[in-house]
Every structure is written in C-alpha cells, then in structure tokens.
Structure 1
Amino acid sequence: MSAVDAYRPVSVGTNLPADQVESDIEDFEDLIRDNELESVSDWTADDETRPVCLFCDITFDNADAVWEHCVIDHDFDFNKLRRGLGLDFFGKVKLINYIRAQVKAGIQPELNRPELFLENSQYLKPTMQDDALLFGIQDDDSEEEEDDPDAIYEKEQLAEVAREYGDKVKVLQSQLKDLQLQFDEYKDIVRTVLNRDFDSDTGSESSSRSSSPARRSGSSSKGKSKQSANGDDHYFESYAYNDIHETMLKDTIRTDSYRDFIYDNKDVFKDKVVLDVGCGTGILSMFAAKAGAKKVYAVDNSDIIEKAIVNVHENGLEKIIQCYRGKIEEIRLPVDKVDIIVSEWMGYALLYEAMLDSVLVARDKYLAPDGLMVPSEVRLLVAGLRDAEFMNDKVNFWNDMYGFKMSAMKPRIYDDVLIENFKPSSIVHPEPYTFRTLPLHDVTVSDLEFASPIRVPIANQANTFDGILDGLVIYFDNYFTRSRDEVIPQHARAETFKPGNGSLGFTTGPWGPRYTHWRSAALLFKKPLQVPAGLEELTGNITYQKRKENPRELIIGLELVAGDRKIIQSYFMR
C-alpha cells in the first residue's frame, strides 16, 4: 500500500474552506512583511536552482521529473495526494515544506494527518533555501483544474498578493540591508571608542586601527588623533613622512611600470603639458620631464611638496616642473587644459583613501578632450582563498597563547579587510573573476560606490582543493595604454599584458612576478565554508561604499551563495 493510499481524508474535501484560505493568505503576508519570505513575484521558473527530491539528495531538471522519481523510488505520488486533499497553492507549499522538514529531522512524514501541516503556518516558510519545487508550484495543476472556477479564483488571489506586496517587499529588503549596514557601522564605532579609551587609560599607542594600516605607510600612527575630527587632515599629514614614500619608491613593480611606460613612449610625452596629481616626491613628474614634456604641473596637498621642490631643483628640472601646494579641487593652474594626467592614486583594495575622486575632478577640470590618463584602466578581481598557514597565523593563533585561550581577540579579524600577500597556491582556481572595470577616461565619481555581481570558480581537482574556503581575495590590475581609444581585451591578465606597442600592465595579485606594497585584500568568513561537492562556482555580490564618518574610508559588503548556504558580511577599511 502506497503512502498516498494509506491516507484516508476525513475532514478535508476537494476544496479548502474559505476561512482557511483567508488565514493562509494572512499568514503568508505576515511572513513577507516580517522579511521571512522572499517576494512571490521573485518565485520564477527561470531560477538556476535544480529541484531536489523530497526524500533524497538527487536533483532533476524539472519538477515533473522529481514527482516521477518519487512515485518509482519512494512510493509517493505528490499529484495524487494533492488532488485527494484538494490542496490550494498554500497547501502544496505546506506539504512540500512539511515533508522536507520531517525527512531532514529523520522522521517519517505522517501523511494521514494533514492537520500537522495544513494548520501550521510555519510550513509556509521554505525548509530548503531556494527550493526549486516551490518556484513553479502554481503552474503544475491539471487542465481540468485550470478550468475550475475555484482554482482560477485561487490563482487570482495569489497574483493579487504578489502584485500588492512584491514592491513592498523589495523596499523592505532594501531598508533592511541599509539598517544592517548602519548597525555594522555602529558596532564598529563602539569598538573603536572602547579601544581608544582603553589605550588612553593604559597609556599605550592606539590599537583601534584596522588590520589594514593607512595605505602604504610603514608606521603612520602620527596624526591619528585627528582622523576622527578631520579625515583629510590625517590623510594629508600621513604623506608628509619619508617612510611612506620610501615604501612606494622601493616597490619596483609600481615604480618601474610608470617609468617604463613613460620612457618607452617618449613620442607620446614629447612637448606635451602634463599634470601630476598627488605628486609626492615628484618622481612621476621627473619621469615625464625626462621623457620630453614641455611643462609639468606637480600638485600635492601634503608637506612632502616642499621636498619635491628641492628634488626638482637638485635634478635641474625647475624650468619644466612647477610645483603647487593644495588640493586639486581648489587650486588654479596657469593653463586651461593639459595633454596628459599622470597619477599614482591607487589604495588598498583599489579605492581605499578615495584619491581617485580628486583625480577625476582634475580630469574633468583640466584634461583636453583627446587627452590621456596614465594609467588608463584599472580592474578589480576576486578569487577564493584557502590558506591554512595564513589562517593559523592570523586566526587560530589566538586559540592557544601560552596555554591560554584568547578568543576575544578574534572578532575584529572578521570585521576588517586584512591586507596580506598571497601565493597562487592560496587561490582555489587559476582564473580570478573581474567584477569591476574602471576606464579612467570615462568613469565618474558616482561609479566608485557600487554593487557588482561576482563569480568564484572552484577547482575540481581533489589534489588542489580540499573543499573548504577561508574567504575571498580582492586585488587590482593596472593598464597603461598609449591611446585613450586602445581597447584592452576582456580576457587580458595584467601580469602578462605587453602588446608590443608600448602599452603595458601590472598586477597587485598573487600571480605577479613580485609582491607590491598594495598586497591583496582578504575578506575572511566568520566560519570556514564547506563547498558542496560538485559545485563549480559560487555566486554573489560585492559592494563598495564610503563611510559616512570619513569618506576616505571604505566598507566592503559581501553576499555569497554556496548551495543552500548564504554568507552576508561587512568589512571595514580604516
């Protein structure tokens, strides 16, 4: 005797009572309103999730194949049972979720007691995330049911609910996301204040800083007390000290790339007017002058400009290079337009410090219509991280400190973007995913806060990946082109980009010939992620947002889906 035959309907007829339908609709609306259920308008058959059997882990191409499998292998006829019970849309949802919940708990579903699921609104909420069997549920009725007035009325009611609440749900979900971000920022502020007060009491140097230090600095604690009051004061003050510029100049990947591009394309720079935004020591300005530029305007708002002036005079370039102290947004150059803008503006995770905003202001204000940006394009890439040595050094280290547990030291590790160097062996797939491209001739300041979809490929060789992800790695690639019209191939890799015409690229990621001072940005998961077997890639979104308290600081948001698990985290760069 089958599971369906074992059930003898007593109180449930071919149609549910109107008050029961109304109650289900109200419960359904409550779940939507409480953000426990996605909008009905989002339940589409186009979802990429494959339907899974109710009783085992086998997946199928469509729901019909699932039901056929259930009849043959599990002696369960879903269509016969739903017709026998006269289930409406909500009844079918409850039945599926009830069976999944019981099977998951290792309990035999009691199909001869329909009140267990029909009278329990909890089963309106999906037991399995992204359950494909629920997506097309309103389309699987027989032709005779489609002609039934009650069935038509039922569908019309459902459609009305979807229309009425679909837009409201999207608004609520957006508001919830904003509130979560605000709450994350609030928690971060509280931690910072508590840490600062503690350090003040103990007389120690502030440790409230992120694990990612102020960009490029070896020790930029000077001026830290001013940061909360005026982020710009701290930012420009930190560039007054030699150690930052020493670090940058010793980064041969960075400095050699700028030098090689400028010297290898002297015909592009000859007799041109060049603007160097954020000139620092003046090294890029001197490269341009040596390459034949007619005039170079070097601008910096830090005290380092005084040393740049000395450097320019010491090298006999004062007739070509003219230095200006101030913000590019505020100063006025003695020319209306320049031919080339050169700048080394990139920060950790590319956009930390928001210096690109100033470079784009300079572009819109001074660059000639056919002028050249150096570099001309930058791309942000993401890849999966699996590095047991790194995790032991940064996280598990606190599990046993001279025989003592110090788990209280861990939480901030998962809140901050960690800046580290990684080898190719730390990445789970040799093909990273480009999630944002910034063409410097066209990108706008508003484009620098964004949400971009991501894909994280997963290696399928067991000997190269143990199935566990520790987090994600973000890095960026830089491209220098001779012409603003040169198109960089979508599949290009900056570490090998040398097309032979004078254009070139360099990467800050694991596949570069040497590490750069930018290193890579690690986003660690609060718990290691066990990737489901057979999954070829993870999908999700990465968001970049400036902090309201200090726009030079950055919040990176992550949403990542791996099978039935979803990771949602926010990371801070201070």
Structure 2
Amino acid sequence: MLQDYVRTNTYRTAISQLAKYSFQDKSVMDVGAGSGVLSFFAVQNGASKVYAIEASNMANNLQILLSQNEKIGSTYTSSSSIPLSEKIKVIKAKVEDINIEIPKVDTIVSEPIGVLLLHERMLESFIYSRDKYLKQNGTIAPSMGSICLAPITDSYLWAETREKSRFWTQRNFLDIDLSPLAKKAFEEYFSCPVVGCFNPNSIMSTEQSITRHNIDFYTVSLPDIQKITVNIDWDIKYTGIIHAIGGWFDLEFNLPPSRYEEASIPFVPSNNTANSVSDNMCLDNDTSSNSFPYSNPYNESDYSRPSQSPVNNFSSTTPCLPITLSTSPSHAPTHWQQIRLLLREPVAVNYGQKLVGSFTFTVNSKRSYDIKFDFEIVNNPSFPSHDSSKSLTATNTPTSMTSNQSNSHSLNTQYLNYNSKDSANSSNFFPTNPTNTQPAFSSQPVQDSAPSNLYNVIPGSRKSNLWYLHEQVFNYSYHPESSSSLKLESLSLYSPQ
C-alpha cells in the first residue's frame, strides 16, 4: 500500500493541511499503524507524541524502522532533528485490547478502509478508538467516507463469469456428472464481487443520480455501520443492458464542524462539487502530469496527481479543507480500485426510465458484509423529452428466458425476465407508486419528478441479488490508461441525445 501514490500522498497532504490545528504540538493515535508511515507524517508535522497501535507482527518492523530513522526533520520545530524514540510509542495490540494506560489524544489518524469502504470492518476499530481515546472536539482523519454506486454495462465480464459457471453443467466430466452442482455454482459465481477498474463510460445513470451515501466518522455509531441501508434512484441515460452495479468510495479529511470558527476557514458542505482542493486554489492548476485521457463524468478534481512537494505545495496561513481522495473510475487508480457487483439477470432498460430500490449492507462473521439489492424499473414521464421515433421501445409483452436454457439471449429493450424466484421474495418491498421525495443520499438535487401516480412499474421487473463482500475475485482486463476512450457504440449503449 505504500506504493499506492494516490493513497499515501493524499494522507500526507491532508496531515499537512490539518497540521496547524490537529498535529502541531498535539498528541496523536495511529490506529492500525502498519509500517508507521502515518506516524512518521504526524511527527514531520509537529506531533509531540504518537501512539502507533498495530496488532500484527508489522509492529516489530515498525520498531526496526524507528531505530534506523532515529532522527527525522520536522516542519514545525526549530530543531533540525527529533528523536523518534521520544515521539513514537509502538503498542503491539488491537486498539480494543490495549492494557496500558493511554491518555486521551488530540487527533486520531488511521487508514481503516477496505474495498467499497467497508470490507475488513476496520471502521469499527476506528470508531471504537474515537469513542475511548479522542478528546472533545478532537480531529479524526479521515473524517468522512462516501459509498458511491451506479448501474453499469459490462457484457464481457458477465459473459465470462457465466461461461465459468457452465463448467459445472457437464454431465460427463471424466465419467463424472457435475450437473447437480450447476445451480449452486451459478449462484456462487454471481455472488462474488469483482474487484478491478472499469470504464467510466459504462455508467448508465445520469451523473446527478449516482448514489452517494455519506458516513460521518465524527458522529456515526457502531450499530450504524453494522447494518447500512442505501436507497437508490437512478435516472437511466442510455438504452442498453445493465450487467452489474459499479461501486467505489471517496474519503474526506476535515476538522470537526465545531472548530471551523476557531480555524477561521469557511465551512464547505460535503458531497458537492465545491469540495475540490483545486477549486480553492490550493493546488497548482497544471494538470499535465495527469495522463488519463478520459473525461471526468462524476467527480470534479484530481487530488491524486503527483506534485514536486506535496507538503509545501499549500499556503501556510490558509488551510484548504476538505482534502478529498476519490477512487472513482474517472480518477487515477488506487490499490482499492473499484468493484462490480454482477447481476444474476442482466436488465435491459430504455433511456428515460428509472431504477429504484435499496442496498442493505449487513455485517457477517468474515469481517465483511453481505450485500442485498432489491430493485425495480419504472417509467419516468418527467425525464427530459426526446425524439420518440429514435427510441427503442419494447412491446408490452415481455420476453421470458431462463439463463441456463440457451447461449442465445432474446433481448427485450424494456427488461429481461429470467423467471427468478428472487422476485417473489421482494414483492412487498416496494410501494405501489414510488414517491417523488428526493433521497437524502443524493449528491445533487434530482429533477422534479412527476406525480407518483404517473410512474409505471414495469411488470416483472422486481428483482433481488445477494453478494458476499469477502468472496472477492479480481479482474484486471480493463486498463484506464489505454482503453478508457471506448465509444458508447462499443459498449452497446444508445442515447437519443
């Protein structure tokens, strides 16, 4: 992870920007310290004491690094060197199991993040340390995480996964009938999240309706993150097929709101386009070092491009907060990459329809989450009008098929119906007429919707899917630097606009 420049440099930049208020002459706790890089950054920015908490044997390696780097320059001290042994105390234990007395600290810093923000459940230790060891009005870094979700098309990945599952349909594999496990194999393959980058052009919802669920680390409680419900309300901008749900996360580094007046800096609301560091004129606007050729459809600024001096690249008098790290497909890749949750049953949609429903994230015994997704498709008369003569309109009678009956897919552009038993399980989940209430998680206001009685639920479109976040597989077939310029036609997407 140290080689993940985006991640490491963003943390370094954030600690630098928070230094005056949260690190200089402050006590700090580094939860899950690992190699101790965040502890080093804290000392470089003037921390008087750092408690580096690490339960694994990396604590021994951190001790070696400290002994070999006994002196380190600090930006905020008159002395040219600081004895690390006096600044950083390594504690080999889980933060929940510390058996020595530690006073409350001014700042807690950690990298408690897994795939899709939640995997590995380190956030629970982060919140535990906040509740037990953080002083009132202290700083935590990061301060917020946002789960982002959007429907995507990816026929190649879906077909590849389906083909792998077909191995188990063989009735004479070395004189063994494997077919009794065919259904189980299909379910297991499609319950495994796929980690890897994907093309931002494959997102099929409008930018404004991409789901953004914020988790405020200053206020969230442990029960709050043990079961999370994320409502979705996606406006479909292309006619095409949804094969998966794409997911990523953003991080934010900021002071607690109670300290904005003290810091004499303006409060910038979260989850909007004004949050970019470059918008605040804190970064050199030269983006020549960013070689990614595709457009940026979702997030507005690049917080990840290299700079010659990340720490000294900012004004020393006016901090530029919040600092943001984005793992979206339109940003430079990180070691977290993105995630694709493949639908067992691809869904064909028309431009202007809506996909509504909810995700439920529930903790499991594997230090991860089970993810349940219930949804349905509705027509949206309030969507911007277009030339209906160019629309690929489906007949009123859906085409039904079962996924294991044939290799050929009979496409109905309204939806695909796979005769799934899952749809019956969620029959009571949705109201008869979806309301036009804007969800709280929306990153930007959605368009005024039509009266609820004008929504037409597509018959048979109610579906459920289940994934296990710990059962990850990896797919690196997409390389942002080389293939991000794929045209919509190559993705079998159509828009009348």
Matched, 1:508 2:286: no
Q: CA deviation at 1:435?
A: 4.3
Matched, 1:480 2:268: no
Residue 64 of structure 1 corresponds to none
In 2, Cα distance between equivalents of 1:447 and 1:398: 36
User: Does structure 1 conserve the Cα–Cα contact (< 8 Å) formed by 2:154 and 2:244?
Assistant: no
Match of 1:309 among 52, 63, 67: 63
Cα distance change on mapping 1:494 and 1:530 into 2, 3 Å: farther
User: Does structure 2 conserve the Cα–Cα contact (< 8 Å) formed by 1:457 and 1:537?
Assistant: yes
Cα distance change on mapping 1:399 and 1:381 into 2, 3 Å: same
Provide the secondary structure at the position in 1 that maps to 2:233.
Answer: strand
Give the gaps of 5 or more residues in structure 1: 1-247, 460-464
Match of 2:157 among 377, 390, 398: 390
Q: CA deviation at 1:436?
A: 2.2
User: Does structure 1 conserve the Cα–Cα contact (< 8 Å) formed by 2:204 and 2:236?
Assistant: yes
Match of 1:321 among 88, 91, 94: 88
Match of 2:354 among 512, 534, 537: 537
Residue 345 of structure 2 corresponds to 527
Q: How does 1:356-375 map to 2 (within 5 A)?
A: 356-375=123-142
Residue 264 of structure 2 corresponds to none
Per chain length, whose mean CA-contact separation is higher, i.e. which structure has more relative contact order (CA < 8 Å, sep 6+)?
Answer: 2
Q: How does 1:28-47 map to 2 (within 5 A)?
A: none
Match of 1:559 among 364, 374, 379: 374
Cα distance change on mapping 1:494 and 1:341 into 2, 3 Å: farther
User: Does structure 2 conserve the Cα–Cα contact (< 8 Å) formed by 1:482 and 1:502?
Assistant: no
Match of 1:260 among 2, 5, 13: 13
Q: How does 1:124-273 map to 2 (within 5 A)?
A: 248-268=1-21, 269-273=23-27
In 2, Cα distance between equivalents of 1:349 and 1:451: 14
Matched, 1:443 2:206: no
Q: How many residues align?
A: 317
In 2, Cα distance between equivalents of 1:323 and 1:567: 50
In 2, Cα distance between equivalents of 1:491 and 1:378: 10
Match of 2:269 among 472, 489, 493: 489
Matched, 1:292 2:46: yes
Note the alpha carbon deviations across 1:419-444, whole angstroms, 9 max, x for none: 12112112113525334211111100
Higher helix content, 1 or 2? 1
Amino acid at match of 2:469: M
Amino acid at match of 1:453: N
Cα distance change on mapping 1:490 and 1:263 into 2, 3 Å: closer
Q: CA deviation at 1:279?
A: 0.3
In 1, Cα distance between equivalents of 2:111 and 2:154: 31
Q: CA deviation at 1:482?
A: 3.8
In 2, Cα distance between equivalents of 1:494 and 1:300: 36
Residue 454 of structure 1 corresponds to 232
In 2, Cα distance between equivalents of 1:318 and 1:331: 20
In 2, Cα distance between equivalents of 1:250 and 1:388: 32
Residue 571 of structure 1 corresponds to 467
In 2, Cα distance between equivalents of 1:491 and 1:355: 23
In 2, Cα distance between equivalents of 1:330 and 1:537: 48
Q: Which moved more, 1:390-399 or 1:378-387?
A: 390-399
Cα distance change on mapping 1:433 and 1:399 into 2, 3 Å: same
Match of 2:28 among 247, 261, 274: 274
Amino acid at match of 2:224: D
Cα distance change on mapping 1:296 and 1:333 into 2, 3 Å: farther
Residue 159 of structure 1 corresponds to none
Using the size of structure 2 for normalisation, the TM-score is: 0.59
User: Does structure 2 conserve the Cα–Cα contact (< 8 Å) formed by 1:384 and 1:457?
Assistant: no
Note the alpha carbon deviations across 1:30-63, whole angstroms, 9 max, x for none: xxxxxxxxxxxxxxxxxxxxxxxxxxxxxxxxxx
User: Does structure 2 conserve the Cα–Cα contact (< 8 Å) formed by 1:382 and 1:456?
Assistant: no
Q: Percent identity?
A: 29
Match of 1:283 among 37, 54, 72: 37
In 2, Cα distance between equivalents of 1:320 and 1:417: 42
Match of 1:424 among 200, 204, 218: 200
User: Does structure 1 conserve the Cα–Cα contact (< 8 Å) formed by 2:161 and 2:190?
Assistant: no
Q: CA deviation at 1:497?
A: 4.7
Provide the secondary structure at the position in 1 that maps to 2:111.
Answer: coil
User: Does structure 2 conserve the Cα–Cα contact (< 8 Å) formed by 1:377 and 1:478?
Assistant: yes
Give the gaps of 5 or more residues in structure 2: 71-83, 261-266, 283-318, 378-457, 471-497
In 2, Cα distance between equivalents of 1:251 and 1:410: 34
In 2, Cα distance between equivalents of 1:320 and 1:570: 47
In 1, Cα distance between equivalents of 2:272 and 2:86: 40
User: Does structure 1 conserve the Cα–Cα contact (< 8 Å) formed by 2:28 and 2:106?
Assistant: yes
Matched, 1:335 2:102: yes
Match of 1:349 among 95, 116, 119: 116
Bigger radius of gyration among the two:
1
User: Does structure 1 conserve the Cα–Cα contact (< 8 Å) formed by 2:206 and 2:234?
Assistant: no
